[in-house]
Amino acid sequence: MENRRFIVEGQKSVQEAIKSGLDIELLVKQDGYESSEFEIETFTTSILEMKTLSTLSTAPGILAVVKFPEWYLNEASALTMQDESVVLVLDGIRDPGNLGTIIRTADWFGLKGIICSPDTVDCFNPKVVQASMGSVFHLPTYYTDLTAFISKASHTVYGLDLQGENLFTTEISEGIYVLGSESHGLREDIQPLIQKFLHIPGKGKAESLNAAISAAIVMSRIH
């Protein structure tokens, strides 16, 4: 991360990164691994070395070193989301699998990007990249101060909370939708900025829903 690079692992993910127009610095291929030909400098390494380089439990055979996109390096880029009709805001999502799944789902529903608090897990964490199935390459995920961002909102600000109104029976519209972490919910300084609280009703005994599932349900309701 310090070198402004991240690793993409596996044939499909590497192909998606290239197709998305990211700047691929180099490819590393395991000796004997059969893959599509790429017009990028490729280094061949041993199985043992590939296992050392890989962050996965099973080495993928091929990985790429990729430069961060410009939108990731420029915090001011988050302001481009102010004009979007529907904005998903994530407050303190720490689990990489959840964030990757949320990014993939947001991509499916056609969102233009996601806004995250600075303490949300990094979108280029290897586990996030894997869980997003390539969506992280072309769906910008911005990190910025949520209080400042939400304060400038011109749309209605909705927040997911167990004490909120029923998501399925309440009239909702375009706006900013804020989701907190499973364990802590929305942080205290965000709550006063919420104009309408919503909740996803349930009938069972589960204490809460997985954050990625909650985000998917909210996005499906909006669209």
Three-state secondary structure of the chain: CCCCEEEEECHHHHHHHHHCCCCEEEEEEECCCCCCCCCCCEEEECHHHHHHHCCCCCCCCEEEEEECCHHHHCHHHHHHHHHCCEEEEEECCCCHHHHHHHHHHHHHCCCCCEEECCCCCCCCCHHHHHHHCCHHHCCCEEECCHHHHHHCCCCEEEEEEEEEEECCCCCCCCEEEEEEECCCECCCCCHHHCCEEEECCCCCCCCCCCHHHHHHHHHHHHC
pLDDT tens per residue across span 73-91:
887 788 888 888 999 999 9
Instruction: Tell me the pLDDT tens digit for each residue of 120-134.
Output: 999 999 999 999 999
Does the pTM of the predicted model rise above 0.95?
no
Please indicate, yes or no, whether residues 42 and 86 belong to a single structural domain of this protein: no
Same domain, 112 and 203: yes
In the chain, the percentage of residues whose pLDDT exceeds 70 is 97
Mean pLDDT of the chain: 90
* Each residue's pLDDT tens digit, 46-66: 988 988 888 888 888 899 999
Of the candidate ranges 11-25, 28-42, 54-68, 103-117, the one whose mean pLDDT is the lowest: 28-42
Quick one: which of 64, 61, 72 has its CA closest to 124?
Answer: 72
The phi and psi torsions of 162 (rounded to 5 degrees) equal: -60, -25
- Which pLDDT score, from 0 to 100, does residue 2 have? 57
What is the number of domains present in the chain?
2
Of 18, 35, 68, the last residue of a domain is 68
CATH number at residue 108: 3.40.1280.10
Q: Are residues 118 and 165 in the same domain?
A: yes
Q: Can you tell me the mean pLDDT for 151-171?
A: 93
Q: Is the pLDDT of residue 183 over 70?
A: yes
Residues 195 and 143 in one domain: yes
Identify which of 164, 151, 114, 165 has the alpha carbon closest to the alpha carbon of residue 136. Answer: 114
Lowest mean pLDDT among 113-117, 206-210, 214-218: 206-210
Domain that holds residue 149: 71-222
Place of tokens 């399925």: 168
State the Cα–Cα distance between residues 146 and 194, nearest whole angstrom. Answer: 12
pLDDT at 36: 67
